[in-house]
């Protein structure tokens, strides 16, 4: 899907044409199949590949067969920017959902409650569209109900990213320990949700032994990454990656959680491997004993609208 801008040519003094569109009072968004009228009658719809046409005040565009009306000064449709990526749509949907659910957890106003629930419906449409495309948004009500059921009151209702902890375990041969998830088939370092009552480092030790059979000692924190930002998850989470060294145990994949487990060098990593382009060089540098600083996602400028691919 591509965004198009309807532009006007020099000398244009008004929008629309005789008997047709009339002036556009605000920025207008036109979906697929939107059909403008002009002096010659009903013109062909905007081409199907133009999923959205964006037009500011006073601008009009060409129909599929040529300019609006009989005056070519009216303008043309040009591509202005790429469509938001699935990763961006997920981020927007989850962020709106978090704002709405947090608002529902704190508000006592019926008016505000209704507004937050409406925001939640918009967020669900975005989230489902990211996963299934526009055809899936009719099924977004189920996601709305799921989100509403998770709303808590007060501080427990403040929605924050989940925390996952992961282990970068080396074997002294420039190889790292990776597991293949049984549910998705995706490879990743041993990882799990942070459990209440444990420190982050303690969870790492527990998860590695549960998933791989190895006993490890934690040496240092090597990365703190936003899972949504690097595209390794569809759940808002921060991943804390700790460098570890094996001290005992026998390598064996967990029979339920892992389909496979093994040691891999940087130049022969298994696929699909979640987020490796972001963390692999940092992890292998740490495993080689190189001096490193903790890797983290740099602040975008501006914070919300900056380049989503910036590291």
As beta bridge partners, residue 163 has: 238
Give pLDDT tens digits for 21-80: 444 333 444 444 444 444 444 443 433 333 334 444 444 444 444 444 444 444 445 555
- Compute the distance between CA of residue 300 and CA of residue 311 in angstroms, rounded to an integer: 8
Give pLDDT tens digits for 86-96: 888 899 999 99
Give pLDDT tens digits for 127-178: 898 888 777 676 788 999 999 999 999 999 999 999 999 999 999 999 999 9
Would you state the pLDDT for residue 300?
86
* Rg (alpha carbons) of the chain, rounded to whole number: 26
Would you state the pLDDT for residue 308?
59
- Compute the distance between CA of residue 36 and CA of residue 49 in angstroms, rounded to an integer: 17
Q: Is the pLDDT of residue 270 over 60?
A: yes
Same domain, yes or no, for 193 and 67? no
Q: 144 or 233: which carries more pLDDT confidence?
A: 144
Residue 305 counted as domain residue: no
Same domain, yes or no, for 289 and 168? yes
Residue 115 counted as domain residue: yes
Tell me the residue range of the domain where 3 lies: 1-83
Q: Among 177, 200, 184, 174, which Cα is nearest to 252's?
A: 177
Same domain, yes or no, for 95 and 202? no
Give mean pLDDT, residues 205-225.
97
Same domain, yes or no, for 18 and 99? no
Q: Among 86, 84, 99, 22, which Cα is nearest to 57's?
A: 22
Residue 311 counted as domain residue: no
Q: Is the pLDDT of residue 267 over 80?
A: yes
Q: Is the pLDDT of residue 205 over 90?
A: yes
Same domain, yes or no, for 69 and 107? no
Same domain, yes or no, for 135 and 122? yes
Same domain, yes or no, for 98 and 115? yes
The residue among 83, 99, 118 that closes a domain is 83
Same domain, yes or no, for 17 and 65? yes
Residue 71 counted as domain residue: yes
H helix intervals, the chain: 86-106, 110-132, 141-149, 200-212, 227-230, 276-287
Across the chain, mean pLDDT equals 80
Same domain, yes or no, for 281 and 188? yes
Q: Is 37 helix (H, G, I), strand (E, B) or coil?
A: strand
Residue 288 counted as domain residue: yes
Same domain, yes or no, for 20 and 92? no
Same domain, yes or no, for 170 and 291? yes
Q: 22 or 225: which carries more pLDDT confidence?
A: 225
- State how many domains the chain has: 3
Question: Is 147:120 a contact under the CB 8 Å cutoff?
Answer: yes
- Compute the distance between CA of residue 188 and CA of residue 284 in angstroms, rounded to an integer: 14
Same domain, yes or no, for 177 and 289? yes
pLDDT band at 17 (very low <50, low <70, confident <90, very high): very low
Q: Flag whether the pTM goes above 0.85.
A: no
- Compute the distance between CA of residue 41 and CA of residue 184 in angstroms, rounded to an integer: 54
Q: Is the pLDDT of residue 101 over 70?
A: yes
CB atoms within 10 A of CB 115: 15
Would you state the pLDDT for residue 250?
97
């Amino acid at each position: 899907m591509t965004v198009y801008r309807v532009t006007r040519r020099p000398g244009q003094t008004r929008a629309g044409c005789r008997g047709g569109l009339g002036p556009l009072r605000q920025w207008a968004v036109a979906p697929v199949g939107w059909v403008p009228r002009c002096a010659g009658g009903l013109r062909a719809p905007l081409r199907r590949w133009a999923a959205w046409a964006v037009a500011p005040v006073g601008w009009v565009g060409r129909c599929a067969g040529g300019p609006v009306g009989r005056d070519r000064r009216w303008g043309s449709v040009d591509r202005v920017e790429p469509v938001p990526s699935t990763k961006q749509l997920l981020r927007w949907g989850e962020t709106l959902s978090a704002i709405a659910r947090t608002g529902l957890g704190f508000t006592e106003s019926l008016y505000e409650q209704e507004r937050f629930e409406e925001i939640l419906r918009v967020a669900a449409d975005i989230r489902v569209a990211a996963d299934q495309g526009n055809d899936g948004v009719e099924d977004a009500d189920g996601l709305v109900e799921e989100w509403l059921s998770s709303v808590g009151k007060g501080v427990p209702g403040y929605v924050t990213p989940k925390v996952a902890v992961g282990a970068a375990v080396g074997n002294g041969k420039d190889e790292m320990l990776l597991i293949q998830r049984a549910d998705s088939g995706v490879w990743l370092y041993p990882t799990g949700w942070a459990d209440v009552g444990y420190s982050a480092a303690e969870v790492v030790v527990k998860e590695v032994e549960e998933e791989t059979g190895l006993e490890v000692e934690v040496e240092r924190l090597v990365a703190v990454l936003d899972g949504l930002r690097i595209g390794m998850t569809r759940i808002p989470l921060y991943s804390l990656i700790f460098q570890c060294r094996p001290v005992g145990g026998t390598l064996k994949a967990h029979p339920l959680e892992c389909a496979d487990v093994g040691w891999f060098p940087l130049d022969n990593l298994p696929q699909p491997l979640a987020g490796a382009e972001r963390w692999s060089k940092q992890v292998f540098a740490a495993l080689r004993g190189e001096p490193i600083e903790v890797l983290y996602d740099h602040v975008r400028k501006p914070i919300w609208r900056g380049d989503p691919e910036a590291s």
